[in-house]
Amino acid sequence: MAAHRTRLVAVANEKGGVGKTAMVVNLASALALENQKVLVVDMDPQHNAGTGLGVEITDGVRSVYDLITDPRAGAFNEVVTPTKWKGLDLIPSHIDLAGAEIELVDEEGRENRLKEALADIIDHYDIVLMDTPPSLSLLTINVFAAAREVLIPCQTQPYAFHALEGLFDTIADVKAEINPDLEICGIVPTFFDQRTRISRDILDRLRSDERYRELVFNTLIRTNTAIAESADAGRPVVSHRTSSYGAADFKALAREFLVRRPA
């Protein structure tokens, strides 16, 4: 692959239920359709990103847990799992990842374990999308330390909107103390339903708030049952329900993402 600067993107929100993992899975697959070489790194112990990509997590398979607990585990061909879709690979998670924070509590440089482990892997890709747990933890900090960009899915509901302030504070703290290269790529409104007043109101507030308005993507991820059905089938919506609103939205998001860079 020609020399290039890989985009290292944390997909994060400290509030659960905002469509974070669905964004990782479906944006990654839509980017692969745009001829991008994409790696998904699943840093959530629930390993839903792997499930959504149809990858069965079995005992003996190298996972991101091995990467951050054993510095010698980072050989490309040992930790990267190809998916069924051309140009899209996965470093899977494992339930053992839930205990990694305790295991690393006394380790020096524990916040940079993921960054160090990925150093020899990322150059194989155009884009690395990293899924995060729905809470602030050492796992999340590891992702922020490794990333250059943060992509924020925000459910168009009041609780998700109000949670943005805390997330922005966390990102600012990581930027100041750990990773000066970290920037916010943008905010993607999710679960948007034009029929409901509250959904329209939260979108208006995102687009008018001086803290957020320049960061809000034009693309909306609309409420669409095809996205959930695709996750249940272990397939990205752009492959499983190609004519659905969900597929159209994620394809549009991929195109906008490719031309949008942090300020």
Return the structure tokens found at 52.
Answer: 């959504």
10 with 151: CB under 8 angstroms?
yes
Taking 80 as the threshold, does the pLDDT of residue 64 lie above it? yes
The closest of 248, 204, 207, 206 to 226, measured between CA atoms, is: 248
Cα–Cα distance between 141 and 167 in angstroms, integer? 12
Which pLDDT value is given to residue 157?
Answer: 93
The closest of 117, 146, 118 to 132, measured between CA atoms, is: 146
Burial track 102-119 (b if 16+ CB lie within 10 A, e otherwise) = eebeeeeebbbbbbbbbe
Most confident of 6-10, 92-96, 116-120, 134-138: 6-10
67 with 17: CB under 8 angstroms?
no
The closest of 48, 31, 52 to 125, measured between CA atoms, is: 31
**Residues linked to residue 190 through DSSP beta bridges, in sequence order:** 155, 221
Cα–Cα distance between 135 and 176 in angstroms, integer? 20
Return the structure tokens found at 238.
Answer: 């752009």
- Give me the percent of the chain exceeding a pLDDT of 70: 95
How many CB atoms are located within 10 Å of the residue 208 CB? 10
Which pLDDT value is given to residue 2?
Answer: 39
Which pLDDT value is given to residue 1?
Answer: 38
Mean model confidence pLDDT for the chain? 90
21 with 40: CB under 8 angstroms?
no
CB pairs under 8 A, 24+ apart, for 118-123? 118/8, 118/41, 118/67, 118/74, 118/146, 119/74, 120/74, 120/76, 121/39, 121/74, 121/76, 121/79, 121/80, 121/91, 122/6, 122/8, 122/39, 123/1, 123/6
> Considering the entire predicted model, what is its pTM?
0.93
Residues in Cβ contact with 190 at an 8 Å cutoff, skipping those fewer than 6 apart: 18, 19, 22, 23, 153, 154, 155, 156, 220, 221
How many CB atoms are located within 10 Å of the residue 66 CB? 20
Which pLDDT value is given to residue 71?
Answer: 63
What mean pLDDT is predicted for residues 137-160?
Answer: 94
**Least confident stretch, 31-45, 88-102, 164-178:** 88-102
Which pLDDT value is given to residue 164?
Answer: 94
For residue 111, give the DSSP letter: G
Output the CA–CA distances (angstroms, integers) from residue 35 to 22, 86, 122, 171, in the order listed: 20, 9, 17, 30
Taking 80 as the threshold, does the pLDDT of residue 156 lie above it? yes
Which pLDDT value is given to residue 75?
Answer: 62
